[in-house]
Amino acid sequence: MTIRKLTLYILFFSLIAYFGLLRGVVLWALHRGYILPHLLPGAIIHSLSHYQLALDHIVLQIFIISTPFATLLLFIFLAFHKGRHFIYPFVSLILGIVLAECLFRLIFVITDTSIAPYRNFSFNRFPKIYVSDPHIGYRMKPLTSGPVLTSDFAIQYDINSLGHRDEPFNIYKSSKQPVALFLGDSQTFGEGVPIGNRFSDLVRNAFPNSLIQNSGVPGYGLHQMVQYYEHYGQALNPCVVFLCLIEEDIRRAWRANVLNDTTPIQVTTAHSRPIDRLYHGYYARRFGTKLHNALTASWLYSFASVKIRIAVVSKSIADRDAKLWAQASDRVSIDNDTLANVSREWIEHIHNIALSNNTLLIVINITTDHIQYLAKLCDDLDIPYCDVAAQLNQRADIRYALDPHYNALGHAIIGDAIISFLHNYSWPTMPCIMQ
């Protein structure tokens, strides 16, 4: 047996042993609770539901990041062990970095892993998926992806070509199939809930012959939902529009008019990687843009910096989120008469637009509180009104531990209530999605 064959055999069996050791260690850590499912590295891209899937993803992630670094460390060791002149360690270090980067990219290509989420990662609840808009203040940027890590979930939000967090929209099919549009805020958007488990997705499953799009945007008020439909949504020619509201949406519309508070979401979010923060400080002026561009162009750096940050942030992420939501709950008190007037102004406006387009408008209260003035307004305007408060109040586990948004169970309850409403309401004319 030649030295070459012996080396290949040793390398092959070493890789098998390496994977076996990794699987054993990770499986032990999962069973002992040292690795939390929602903070798993693979959860950035994939939804993890059981140990076996979690185990495979963790082992793959460790292999992806450890192999290039092991190569780099080997080059550094060889350089300082054999080198007798300062030029040898320097050249060897550069070669090691280049080889590690190339090997890292090759592994990503082989495993069909995208680097984009690691370059657009958000360590707060505001994903980097927004763009300024002259009509609404801001909206979601088409064809973007924004991974998010909170104490309650880790998820990636994918935005389609329409600027919706939903399935791709087929323009050709829209000319042949009825289209329904959901308008709403972060509750409709489905924070932390994968596409397929939100209430709009359940309605789609119940009426598969229709094209349903969820245009919910976190932070939107009633006024922005109406403006979105007026400037963008009606171009899809929906035959049904579901206006999904919580009372905070009406308060946002009031604040936008009285306090000129129109953009609660940060369109340009905080930089998530260490080099990004370094670049925007004193050292940027000293070292220039070349170092910044080189590091941010590196796949290895983009991946490693996010992983390191996850490890650091995960220790205090629950305390951070608890403070965030405590501050968010501090709202200005607004009387019901004022809220009733605000809701009338905007709902009358969207109702008139819908009537001009021969579109059915359905208002849905998706809170746990009955909004009496909203029910009366819809009755006055002869708008179908669906109130799911009673169904939501039957369960106490419909929200996340800290994040007050609905979890998958909350969305399931809302979805079932909407479907039941559509089947049981006394329609003068059957809605197009049910025909």
pLDDT given for residue 325 in this prediction = 78
Residue 168 CB burial class (10 angstroms; 0-12, 13-18, ≥19): exposed
CB contact at 8 A, 265 and 148: no
CB contact at 8 A, 192 and 155: yes
Where helices occur in 170-246 by DSSP H, the ranges are 171-174, 186-189, 199-206, 222-231
pLDDT given for residue 99 in this prediction = 72
Q: What does each C-alpha distance from 148 to 124, 151, 319 come to in angstroms?
A: 7, 10, 17
- Mean pLDDT computed over 260-274: 45
Q: Is the pLDDT of residue 372 over 60?
A: yes
| Lowest-pLDDT choice from 117-131, 161-175, 365-379 | 117-131
pLDDT given for residue 152 in this prediction = 84
pLDDT digits (tens, 9 = 90+) for 302-342: 777 777 777 677 667 778 778 877 776 656 678 899 999 99
* 397 Cβ contact list (under 8 Å, min separation 6): 407, 409
Most confident of 38-47, 122-131, 162-171, 243-252: 243-252
Q: Is the pLDDT of residue 54 over 80?
A: no
Residue 27 CB burial class (10 angstroms; 0-12, 13-18, ≥19): middle
Q: Is the pLDDT of residue 434 over 90?
A: no
Percent of the chain, pLDDT > 70? 62
Is the whole model's pTM more than 0.75, yes or no?
no
Q: What does the alpha-carbon distance between residue 78 and residue 93 come to, in Å, rounded to a whole number?
A: 10
pLDDT given for residue 269 in this prediction = 39
pLDDT given for residue 16 in this prediction = 62
Bridge partners of 242, per DSSP, are 182, 362
* 257 Cβ contact list (under 8 Å, min separation 6): 223, 342
pLDDT given for residue 366 in this prediction = 97
- Mean pLDDT computed over 202-227: 94
Q: How many CB atoms lie within 10 A of CB 368?
A: 17
Residue carrying structure tokens 């197009």: 432
All structural domains of the chain, each given as residue ranges with its CATH number in brackets, are 3-113 (no CATH), 130-266+333-426 (3.40.50.1110)
Confidence of residue 45 (pLDDT cuts 50, 70, 90): very low
- Mean pLDDT computed over 64-76: 59
Q: Is the pLDDT of residue 391 over 70?
A: yes
pLDDT given for residue 405 in this prediction = 93
286 compared with 123, residue with greater pLDDT:
123
Q: What does the alpha-carbon distance between residue 275 and residue 297 come to, in Å, rounded to a whole number?
A: 11
pLDDT given for residue 215 in this prediction = 96
| Lowest-pLDDT choice from 188-192, 256-260, 430-434 | 256-260
